[in-house]
Amino acid sequence: MNERPYVMVNIAMTADGKTDTIARSGAAISSPQDMERVDRLRAESDGIMVGGHTLLGDDPRLTVKSERLRRERVKRGLEANPVKAGVVTRANLRPDSRFLTAGLGRVMVFTTTQTDAAQIDLLRQQGMQVFVIGEQRVDLSAALTELKQAGIQRLLVEGGGRLNEELLRLGLVDEISIYVAPLIFGGAQAPTFASGPGLKREAAIRLQLVEVENLGDGGIVLHYLPETD
């Protein structure tokens, strides 16, 4: 049996590959059409994961926005919203954060020994499932195994670049979709699809382009499969 869920990474970026402006405050990039596409992806997923900087900086809701899609999930015997999962070195989430409070679904927090025991207790008292798996960084393979054991077959990863890069480098990604908006943000330090320390040319992660979807709004969606060999 596969020990991890099927993992799809989805992100929106500008034509110059930026996933946010230099201000790093979660700039809007998706068009309304792309937001609908992402909502459908969320509705088809059992869990949605984000990295620590996205979690603490953007405080995303990670819920299914469409009432119709939520109703359809319930008809299929699922919770209205997928499980939310955060990968965060120090889980200093505010109790009233949107990530913790929006929607009624389960929340799983994967963190390291750098999170205070008192903070972990607080999150658990709020009903979160907290997993301490790592000292410097969260062990992503272990996190995916926990998610699979929690019944998550299909996981949607919604960035940021650090989490995307680490999952890809570890060979833990099955599919990628990237909305490319007709915008340019510039900024050498603005976040991109994959960050981290950077790879040498010979270690580049190679992708197979499987589809180019034109959303008719000036933006396109690139669908890739990571090459495995």
| Binding footprint of ligand NAP on the chain (CB under 6 A) | 11-13, 19-20, 24, 26, 29, 50-54, 57-58, 87-89, 137-138, 140, 158-163, 166, 191, 195
Q: Check residue 170 and report its DSSP letter.
A: T
Shortest approach of ligand NAP to residue 54 CB, angstroms? 3
Q: Which is nearer to ligand NAP, 15 or 78 (CB)?
A: 15
Distance between CA atoms of residues 93 and 177, nearest Å = 28
- Work out the angle between the directed axes of helices 67-75 and 32-43 (0-180°, nearest 10): 10
Q: Which residue is nearest to ligand NAP (CB)?
A: 160
Q: Which is nearer to ligand NAP, 72 or 217 (CB)?
A: 217
Q: Which is nearer to ligand NAP, 146 or 158 (CB)?
A: 158
Q: Which is nearer to ligand NAP, 13 or 109 (CB)?
A: 13
Shortest approach of ligand NAP to residue 179 CB, angstroms? 8
Scanning the chain, the segments in alpha helix (DSSP H) are 32-43, 52-58, 67-75, 98-101, 117-125, 140-149, 161-169
Shortest approach of ligand NAP to residue 71 CB, angstroms? 26
Q: Measured at the alpha carbon of residue 167, what is the angle toward residues 14 and 125, in degrees to the nearest 5? A: 100
Q: What amino acid is encoded at 115 in this protein?
A: T
Shortest approach of ligand NAP to residue 214 CB, angstroms? 19
Q: Which is nearer to ligand NAP, 74 or 170 (CB)?
A: 170
Distance between CA atoms of residues 108 and 77, nearest Å = 20
Residue pair 84/99 in contact by the 8 Å Cβ criterion: yes
Shortest approach of ligand NAP to residue 164 CB, angstroms? 7
Distance between CA atoms of residues 24 and 53, nearest Å = 9
- How many other C-beta atoms are found inside a 10 Å radius of the C-beta of residue 58? 19
Shortest approach of ligand NAP to residue 25 CB, angstroms? 7
Nearest CA to 160 among 46, 70, 25?
Answer: 25
Q: Which is nearer to ligand NAP, 103 or 191 (CB)?
A: 191
